[in-house]
Amino acid sequence: MLKKETKIKMNTLKVTGDLAEVEKIRTFLRGNLQVLNLSNNAYYLIELSLLEICINIVRYAYPEDKGEISLKIWQQQGRLFFEIRDWGIPFNPRKSKKPDIEEIIMKGKKGGLGIFISRKLMDGFDYKRKNKQNVLTMYKRIKIDGAET
């Protein structure tokens, strides 16, 4: 008997760019990934990456008001994709400088590591500006049966 492949279809969530909406993003992520056979470690790496990006959008993309964040999740060819869109200030996270971790620690700075962490934890990280939107696509490689690689 063949083992049925567990796969998630494309799903979308739209939230207001507000820190109060972070729990909705977590719930959306958990609901979509629970069908996969991910280890706790793999799940938390994905969650951390996604939340870091979304929190940065809330804090910096909309300085004068609360805009919108659109999140898509889908699985394709052994990869789990996450597309995050916002209509805020143009910002290419691929061009952000590598943080000076020693300086952050020595000066007790808060922040500055979110993008760096997300780029390190995910296997793919791409940005484009399209139709006045910041579009970030990240992916994590997973095995066909859903277990992380």
Helices then strands, counting H and E runs in the chain, come out as 4, 5
pLDDT reading at 7 higher than 90: no
Question: Residue 130 to residues 4, 93, 110, 138: CA-CA distances in angstroms?
Answer: 37, 15, 31, 16
On the question of pLDDT at 29 being above 90, the answer is yes
- Identify the top-confidence range among 25-29, 30-34, 116-120: 25-29
CATH class of residue range 11-141? alpha beta
Structure-token pair, residue 90: 């143009």
Per domain, the residue ranges of the chain are 11-141
